[in-house]
């Protein structure tokens, strides 16, 4: 379960439409093309507005990483906005010279860092980031290094890509990284599509990773604000690492801090050459377009990019079997919480569809968990606080269940957030009562059909979201995993799920020796943890917004907040989101005023 703020705000809006919605009533009529260099292109006509929602999905995420470079996929999301040889610089010649000098100095600094790591292991220092822990030679090099960083900044035209799009009517320029994919998107007028083709082909063929080393610091700060500073962020990270024993889902998308400090530009260049080659990309265009005419423009700009020299390697490390129940007990300044995860199956596995429907039967405000924990026992909240609300991306549900079918493996996730005074063990016991009933008795046909209908309605609304954005991300999710047609075929398989299928998967996968349990006790009783107060995630979100210093980044975040607001139905959650938007807009005015002085 993701319990972070910044990462969730940027990602959950998009991934909600792709990863958490299993069924679609309408067929997405996409036209598929394949360029000579292997790049896949999907187009969907939607003539309701004279705009096009355009995106490029790279079939790479944190699951493609290995120890030593964890977090590099997300770092790339940042680096791809730094410009090219023609965008983002006043002097490309000197720009490249400075970057080469920085790389040379980093080689020397890495040698000193090796010494510092050894001293850390021997107990001579406590923190490699502590200025006092740095070796004398490191400090000497760092002085020269920092002076070059300052020179580099003078050569940079900040956010020029964003500026070019904005001046030409483009908006929602952004990106996201998940475990299985990375996506870049923007909406723009249909008569500006040639500008899009030129800009995107340029940054996917000739990117310049300027500010590489300072951007690692930005990502570390993002990790601190969105994960480490939240009440349960590090607890959730520990729980996820416990659940995923051997697969590369073991680490967070943001990566381990020690790896973020060590990633080199040489490693970044190699990663780009492998995973950002056209044969590993899918372009998706949704909007007011003629596919057969548009493909000519796509070929003109993108077929000039050569196919990658090295094909992306397969992820070969499988999740090894679990041989006994795992439990984690923690304390945090949050409501009492119980989370249970079971190992299940990957995307497109025959059982994934039955598990999707099972998630619908158990989760939501009409699901069995809500009826048992909220209505019958009165021990769980009726709407999300800490992690289930709009900050955490859980759709406002304090009691929920869902199947998470990732590309390489899957998990069934159940969570319950208790009222003040409840014990996590009570929540856990009540969840098992629901599971036991599902394992013993088939779901009545009327309940099964009701859930299928609900899933279908949710999906239609998601696909119709913002004139094509829902379609874009639903297609993108499936294309990045390996087969965009699953967007149309998967729902049909969900509709064929029977009560016997649901009972079978409940018995097959909800085994005690496959169970992973996280119980979070309330560390400090406070109004923030109660039913009526502001939840800790909201407080952390406010702190994050107030600490931001980049107006462009904050403006993008406000856009994403605004998009999410339309989907928040719970009055309390909506009120908090509106407060956060006001705080963010006030902060943006303050930053712009300071910049104009």
Q: What is the mean pLDDT of residues 382-398?
A: 51
- pLDDT value of residue 543: 72
Q: What is the mean pLDDT of residues 363-372?
A: 94
**What's the predicted TM-score (pTM) here?**
0.84
Q: Reduced to 3 states, what is the DSSP secondary structure of residue 342?
A: strand
Q: Where do the structural domains in the chain lie, given as residue ranges? A: 90-155, 326-524, 536-596
* Residues 508, 21, 413: CA angle, nearest 5 degrees: 40
Of the two residues 282 and 586, the one the predictor is more confident about is: 282
Q: Reduced to 3 states, what is the DSSP secondary structure of residue 57?
A: strand
Structure confidence by residue, pLDDT tens digits, 324-358: 999 999 999 999 999 999 999 999 999 999 999 99
> Residue 387 above 70 pLDDT?
no
Phi, psi of 269, rounded to the nearest 5 degrees: -60, -40
- pLDDT value of residue 431: 98
Percentage of the chain exceeding pLDDT 90: 69
**pLDDT level of residue 573 (50, 70, 90 thresholds):** low
- pLDDT value of residue 463: 72
- pLDDT value of residue 570: 59
- Residue found by looking up tokens 């709407």 in the block: 383
- pLDDT value of residue 1: 32
Q: What is the mean pLDDT of residues 506-529?
A: 84
Q: What is the mean pLDDT of residues 556-583?
A: 72
Phi, psi of 329, rounded to the nearest 5 degrees: -115, 130
Q: Do the beta carbons of residue 405 and residue 180 sit within 8 Å?
A: no
Structure confidence by residue, pLDDT tens digits, 14-25: 444 433 434 334
Phi, psi of 288, rounded to the nearest 5 degrees: -80, 85
- Residue found by looking up tokens 């991306």 in the block: 393
Q: What is the mean pLDDT of residues 213-224?
A: 89
Structure confidence by residue, pLDDT tens digits, 59-109: 999 999 999 999 999 999 999 999 999 999 999 999 999 999 999 999 999
- Buried-exposed string 16-31: b where 16+ CB fall within 10 A, e elsewhere: bbbbbbbbbeeebebe
For the domain with range 326-524, which CATH number is right: 3.30.830.10, 3.40.50.720, 3.40.50.11540, 2.102.10.10? 3.30.830.10
> Residue 526 above 50 pLDDT?
no
Q: What is the mean pLDDT of residues 518-532?
A: 65
């Amino acid at each position: 379960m993701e319990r972070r703020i910044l990462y969730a705000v940027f990602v959950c809006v998009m991934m909600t439409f792709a990863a958490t919605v299993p069924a679609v009533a309408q067929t997405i009529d996409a036209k598929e093309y394949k360029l000579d260099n292997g790049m896949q292109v999907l187009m969907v006509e939607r003539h309701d507005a004279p705009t096009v929602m355009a995106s490029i999905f790279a079939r790479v995420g944190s699951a493609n990483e290995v120890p030593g470079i964890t977090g590099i996929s997300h770092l790339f999301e940042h680096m791809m906005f730094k410009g090219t040889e023609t965008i983002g610089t006043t002097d490309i010649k000197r720009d490249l010279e400075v970057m080469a000098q920085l790389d040379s100095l980093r080689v020397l600094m890495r040698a000193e860092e090796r010494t510092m790591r050894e001293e850390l292991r021997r107990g001579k220092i406590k923190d490699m980031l502590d200025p006092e822990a740095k070796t004398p030679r490191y400090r000497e090099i760092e002085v020269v290094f920092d002076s070059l960083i300052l020179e580099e900044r003078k050569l940079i035209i900040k956010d020029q890509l964003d500026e070019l799009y904005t001046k030409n009517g483009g908006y929602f320029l952004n990106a996201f990284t998940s475990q299985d994919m990375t996506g870049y998107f923007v909406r723009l007028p249909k008569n500006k599509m040639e500008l899009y083709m030129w800009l995107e082909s340029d940054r996917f063929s000739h990117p310049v990773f300027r500010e590489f080393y300072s951007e690692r610091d930005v990502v570390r700060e993002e990790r601190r604000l969105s994960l480490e500073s939240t009440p349960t962020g590090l607890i959730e990270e520990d729980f996820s690492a416990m659940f995923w024993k051997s697969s590369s889902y073991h680490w967070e998308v943001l990566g381990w801090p020690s790896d973020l400090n060590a990633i080199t530009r040489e490693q970044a260049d190699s990663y780009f050459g492998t995973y950002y080659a056209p044969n590993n990309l899918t372009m998706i265009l949704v909007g007011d377009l003629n596919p057969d005419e548009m493909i000519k423009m796509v070929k003109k700009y993108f077929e000039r990019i050569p196919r990658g020299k090295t094909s992306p390697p397969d992820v070969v490390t499988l999740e090894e079997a679990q041989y006994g129940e795992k439990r984690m007990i923690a304390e945090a300044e949050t409501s009492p919480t119980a989370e249970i995860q079971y190992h299940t199956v990957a995307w497109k596995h025959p059982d994934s569809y039955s598990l999707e429907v099972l998630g619908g039967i158990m989760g939501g405000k009409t699901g069995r968990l809500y009826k048992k924990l909220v209505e019958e026992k009165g021990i769980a909240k009726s709407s999300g606080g800490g992690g289930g609300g709009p900050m955490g991306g859980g759709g406002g549900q304090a009691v929920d269940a869902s199947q998470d079918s990732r590309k390489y493996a899957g998990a069934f996730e159940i969570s319950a957030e208790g009222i003040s005074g409840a014990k996590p063990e009570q929540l856990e016991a009540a969840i098992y009562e629901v599971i036991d009933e599902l394992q013993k008795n088939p779901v009545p046909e009327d309940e099964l059909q009701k859930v299928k209908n609900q899933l279908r309605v949710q999906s239609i609304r998601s696909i119709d979201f913002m004139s094509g954005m829902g379609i874009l991300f639903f297609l993108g999710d499936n294309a990045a995993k390996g087969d965009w047609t699953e967007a149309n075929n998967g729902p049909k398989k969900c509709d064929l799920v029977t009560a016997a299928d649901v009972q079978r998967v409940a018995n097959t996968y909800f085994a005690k020796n496959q169970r992973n349990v996280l119980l979070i006790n309330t560390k400090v009783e406070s109004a923030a943890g109660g039913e009526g107060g502001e939840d800790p995630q909201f407080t952390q979100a406010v702190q994050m917004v107030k600490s931001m210093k980049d107006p462009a980044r904050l403006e993008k975040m406000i856009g994403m907040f605004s998009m999410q607001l339309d989907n928040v139905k719970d009055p309390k959650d909506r009120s908090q989101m509106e407060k956060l938007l006001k705080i963010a807009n006030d902060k943006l005015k303050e930053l712009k005023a300071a910049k104009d002085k």
